[in-house]
Structure 1
Amino acid sequence: MRLIRRAGLRTRVTLAYLAAIVAAIAIGGVLVNAALEARLTDALDETLETRTAAVGRLLVDRGGPAPGLTVGLDDPGETFTQVVGPGERLVSSSPGLPLRPLLDAAGRRAAVEGRDIRLRDVVVAGDDDGADEIDLEALEETGVEAYETDRARVLARQVRAGGVRYALIVGSTYEDHDEALREVRGALLLVLPVALVLVALAGGGAIVASLRPVERMRQRAAAIADPGSGERLPVPPGGDELARLGRSLNEMLDRLQRAAEHERALVSDVSHELRTPLAVIGGELELALQTLGDADPELRASLTVAADETRRLGRIAEDLLLLARADEQRLELQREPLAAGELLREQARRFAARATVAVQAPDGLRLDGDRLRLAQALGNLVDNALRHGRAPVTLHAWADGDAVVLAVRDAGDGFPAAFRERAFDRFSRAHEGRSGRGAGLGLAIVALIAEAHGGTATVHDAPQGGGEVRLRLRAT
């Protein structure tokens, strides 16, 4: 059961279908056998009724039992006749039968008294060497037995012939009955497995065909990375459950797309609206610091913290605006051939006031990109290295086939293994091993700019320890 529960839906449905088919075929075989057996028994009873009527007419026409009474009516070894006269004496019997009435005393009395004896089963015994009609004394002397031990179907009636009442017993063995059942059962044993295999193949094929639209929807769902891409699940034709499921899922994707578009528009609008007031607040704080001088150290410290936080909020607003524009496919690039070494040295000079940043780049190494966006990406990486890692920070560039790799290395503790998979997710921060007050958008911006250039951004361990982030961009 545990293995079945772990199996796929297709396997479970197929096994359940096969179990139901096996049960249905088994029940059908039992019912067919029972119905056939009942029909053969009815046919045997009808034959006995006909033979009883025929023997009764002969008995009446001949005025009583006479030699050869049942010649032509009995089939030796299969059908038989007995006539029981007054005093319950056996006066006529088919060859090979026991030298006693087949019915018990109660049955014979009922027949003699004129009551019909219901059809019943008896047991006869003998071999196949009897004559059609022999004298009872001769039969007694020779001990001939014409019937093998077998079940028989018997009908008893009271017949008046020549003024005497006789109990007429007509019977037939089950040999033909049982042979017909054996033949039918053998045919069923041959046909039913073949039918089971064919039905199983047809049912399995139908199940596979029915679940194929589900697999197509699953594959498409796995390929849809963004509901805003416009891709939707393939909906099978018709109005069945699978078609309704596909339409419902597509409607859900439409709602997700509208919600995402609304969210991006909100972020873009809010970020755009925050830029101006934050810039004004920052300017006013800088002016206040310049005007204040050293008159009030505590006030100056408070204003400095406020100015730093305002600048941080301004950077977050700029980053959110950039992400919103990228999501809306409105991130435009001004591509031009750039010298990799010069691009890195510009960042080294930019951060020279905070720390010494070394540059290692060969001359003549050029790439195709947007100077401002790449400077923003490299600036985010250097800022992260200085805030979350440890100096020295080194900028590297080298050629790798038809690409140029730009790398920023620090001497910190590196990136935690658990953080690497989500390093470029938005608002993702490495709480283990690195600390700081960043919003978790710096690496997301780096990955976005790299992808916009048709490149990639990856995190690594630096050769001498620490963390390293690489940008792989197209060379010119």
Structure 2
Amino acid sequence: MRRPRSPGLRAGITVSFTLGATVLATLAAIGTHAVTREYLLTQREDTAVRQAFVDASSVRDGLRTSGVSVTDVLGAVAPPSGSELLVRRDGRWYSGSLQVGGDDVPTALGDAVASGTAGVTWTRVDGQAALAVGVPLPGVGAEFYEVAVTTELERTLVAVRNALAAFALSTAVGGALLGVWASRRAVAPLHAVARTAASIAGGELGIRLPPTSDPDLATIVGSFNSMVDALEEQIQREVRFSADVSHELRSPLTTLVTSVALLQRRRDELPPRSQQALDLVARELDRFQQTLDDLLELARLESGAAGRPRVRTGATSLARQALDASGRPDVPVRADGPGALVDVDTQQLARALVNLFDNADRHGEGLVEVGVQCTGDRVRFLVDDAGPGVPPGERQRVFERFARAGSRGSLPGSGLGLSLVAETVRAHGGTVRCAASPLGGARFVVELPVAPAPAGAAGTAAPAARVSGERA
């Protein structure tokens, strides 16, 4: 079962800022709305009660006048806009309009006023919120009610609610934008570390993180640079040790080669068993010399030595020269598209290609074809053999030093050929990999950057030196 992918650091920071801003804005909006609503409702109730007592006083004075009907008294009172007046006297309801009647007065309010207590309550009239105030008028044997529709208050509360919602939404958006900005600032040092680490992994051991005035990052920068310094020193020490050992072995090796050469001149004078031993020593000495040469070349590549200058040459021409120099003039070179130019050390790269050719002959039952493909800013050299191929699990390991995949361990070779190919290609800014060939065997793909040459410029083919390669 595939594990769900966790969000990245930038996404986590952005989400945290967004959620935090949303929660705070929501809580602030809810609290503000509750306080504002309570304040407006209280103010509206106080205003309605004061107005109701004023109007009740006018109605009471009017009812004390003999011969005046309740309807005339209600008509003489001018209530505020949106308010309606009602009077209950002797069990009968009187209203100042046809829109509001006794049925619109809440029962609880009517019972309270009938018992001699003034009261106020919220109700609904024709689906709209209204405030009903009741005032007993014992002096005239009546009950006064004033019902005020609070449509303007509802509109005010809706406007406040919408404004607070817009505030909460804009705060959440602002929190998200702030989170994006903060996440970029937070991971910028990590990106600098990642770029520097990638450059170091690519062989640029001299690169360091720039100094910083940030006290929180100064320790990290210093520790990283110290680690790289120690790593570079250790690598250089190992490279020097390998080079020193290889150079120290050259003197005794030269002596052995000279001695064996002398014995080879007088081979016919030796008995058969001595001749066999001499042949065995000669073969192993050749193998040892090739291994030493490969180790020296690997040490030089790893140390980043400048070596010979790069030459701009055609990729197809380079492949053809490598085949001719290694004694394989009959192997076809298949080029797809126009010839591409590459800036390479022709001797180094030719040796790497010959190592691949020898690998195909030794372990792949023969070199079949060499292809050259150019795609965009990259050029590929394809080396196909006729063997059984390399198992997928071994395709990466074959480029390790002294690695012998499958039957390779039973065949001669130093085990450094393919590792030397990998180091050479890497030094040229390219990659090498092993894959399955459409022809049935193994395919080794060397990919190099195309030289930045003007359109139509012809490559200058450098003469290829006579090279040989040791197979892994």
Range class of TM-score, shorter chain? 0.5 to 0.7
Q: Which residue of 1 aligns with 2:456?
A: none
Map 1:321-400; keep pairs closer than 5 Å.
321-333=296-308, 347-348=326-327, 358-360=328-330, 373=348, 377=352, 380-381=355-356, 384-385=359-360, 387-390=362-365
User: Which has the higher mean CA deviation after the structures are superposed, 284-293 or 22-31?
Assistant: 284-293
Map 1:66-465; keep pairs closer than 5 Å.
66=65, 71-72=76-77, 74-75=79-80, 78-80=83-85, 82=87, 95=96, 98=102, 107-108=112-113, 111=116, 117=118, 119-121=120-122, 151-156=130-135, 171-176=145-150, 178-185=151-158, 188-189=161-162, 202-212=174-184, 214=187, 218=191, 221=194, 224-227=198-201, 229=204, 230-231=206-207, 244=217, 248=220, 251-252=223-224, 255-256=227-228, 258-277=230-249, 280=252, 315-316=290-291, 318-333=293-308, 347-348=326-327, 358-360=328-330, 373=348, 377=352, 380-381=355-356, 384-385=359-360, 387-390=362-365, 412-415=387-390, 425-427=399-401, 429=403, 431-432=405-406, 434-435=408-409, 436=411, 438=413, 440-449=415-424
Query: Following the alignment from structure 1 to structure 2, what is the Cα–Cα distance between the partners of residues 336 and 151?
Result: 94
Which sections of structure 1, spanning at least 5 residues, go unmatched?
Answer: 126-146, 349-357
8 A Cα contact 2:113 2:143, kept in partner: no
Query: Following the alignment from structure 1 to structure 2, what is the Cα–Cα distance between the partners of residues 149 and 455?
Result: 79
**Aligned-residue offset at 1:107:** 2.7
8 A Cα contact 1:119 1:154, kept in partner: yes
**Aligned-residue offset at 1:263:** 2.4
- Secondary structure of 1:50's counterpart equals helix
How many residues end up aligned between the 2 structures? 413
Query: Following the alignment from structure 2 to structure 1, what is the Cα–Cα distance between the partners of residues 312 and 130?
Result: 106
Residues 179-225 of structure 1 show CA distances to partners (whole Å, capped at 9, x for unaligned) of 32135416755x57766775565455444444445489659836934
8 A Cα contact 1:81 1:171, kept in partner: yes
- Secondary structure of 1:44's counterpart equals helix
**Aligned-residue offset at 1:175:** 1.0
Shift in alpha-carbon separation, 1:280–1:431, aligned structure 2, 3 A: same
Q: Which residue of 1 aligns with 2:40?
A: 40
Larger Rg: 1
- Secondary structure of 2:252's counterpart equals helix
8 A Cα contact 2:33 2:160, kept in partner: no
Residues 123-148 of structure 1 show CA distances to partners (whole Å, capped at 9, x for unaligned) of 8x8xxxxxxxxxxxxxxxxxxxxx99
Residues 386-442 of structure 1 show CA distances to partners (whole Å, capped at 9, x for unaligned) of 542446x699899x9xxx99998765445556666676x443846257444656431
8 A Cα contact 1:52 1:168, kept in partner: no
**Aligned-residue offset at 1:475:** 1.0
Query: Following the alignment from structure 1 to structure 2, what is the Cα–Cα distance between the partners of residues 180 and 186?
Result: 10
8 A Cα contact 1:90 1:101, kept in partner: no
8 A Cα contact 2:323 2:354, kept in partner: no
Amino acid at match of 2:237: A
- Secondary structure of 1:154's counterpart equals strand
**Aligned-residue offset at 1:304:** 8.4
**Aligned-residue offset at 1:328:** 2.7
Query: Following the alignment from structure 2 to structure 1, what is the Cα–Cα distance between the partners of residues 434 and 110?
Result: 106
**Aligned-residue offset at 1:45:** 2.6
Query: Following the alignment from structure 1 to structure 2, what is the Cα–Cα distance between the partners of residues 24 and 456?
Result: 53
Higher relative CO (CA 8 A, sep ≥ 6), structure 1 or 2? 2
Which sections of structure 2, spanning at least 5 residues, go unmatched?
Answer: 333-341, 449-458, 463-472
8 A Cα contact 1:416 1:433, kept in partner: no
Amino acid at match of 1:273: V
8 A Cα contact 2:109 2:121, kept in partner: no
Query: Following the alignment from structure 1 to structure 2, what is the Cα–Cα distance between the partners of residues 103 and 395?
Result: 103
8 A Cα contact 2:352 2:420, kept in partner: yes
8 A Cα contact 1:217 1:233, kept in partner: no
Shift in alpha-carbon separation, 1:149–1:411, aligned structure 2, 3 A: closer
**Aligned-residue offset at 1:30:** 5.2
8 A Cα contact 2:123 2:132, kept in partner: yes
Query: Following the alignment from structure 1 to structure 2, what is the Cα–Cα distance between the partners of residues 101 and 188?
Result: 28
- Secondary structure of 2:102's counterpart equals coil
Amino acid at match of 1:181: E
Amino acid at match of 2:44: L
Query: Following the alignment from structure 1 to structure 2, what is the Cα–Cα distance between the partners of residues 461 and 92?
Result: 101
8 A Cα contact 1:33 1:181, kept in partner: no
Query: Following the alignment from structure 2 to structure 1, what is the Cα–Cα distance between the partners of residues 349 and 30?
Result: 81
**Aligned-residue offset at 1:118:** 5.2
Query: Following the alignment from structure 1 to structure 2, what is the Cα–Cα distance between the partners of residues 248 and 282?
Result: 51
**Aligned-residue offset at 1:47:** 2.0
8 A Cα contact 2:384 2:439, kept in partner: no
Shift in alpha-carbon separation, 1:376–1:19, aligned structure 2, 3 A: closer
Amino acid at match of 2:417: G
Query: Following the alignment from structure 2 to structure 1, what is the Cα–Cα distance between the partners of residues 129 and 432?
Result: 92
TM-score w.r.t. the length of structure 2 is 0.57
Shift in alpha-carbon separation, 1:410–1:76, aligned structure 2, 3 A: closer
8 A Cα contact 1:216 1:234, kept in partner: no
Amino acid at match of 1:333: R
User: Which has the higher mean CA deviation after the structures are superposed, 304-313 or 265-274?
Assistant: 304-313
**Aligned-residue offset at 1:324:** 3.1
Amino acid at match of 1:98: G
Residues 143-184 of structure 1 show CA distances to partners (whole Å, capped at 9, x for unaligned) of xxxx99975432547x8xxxx7678866543512x4321354
Query: Are 2:454 and 1:475 equivalent residues in the alignment?
Result: no
Query: Following the alignment from structure 1 to structure 2, what is the Cα–Cα distance between the partners of residues 154 and 221?
Result: 74
Query: RMSD of aligned C-alpha atoms?
Result: 6.4
Shift in alpha-carbon separation, 1:438–1:334, aligned structure 2, 3 A: same
Query: Following the alignment from structure 2 to structure 1, what is the Cα–Cα distance between the partners of residues 95 and 323?
Result: 122
> Matched residues, percent identical?
21
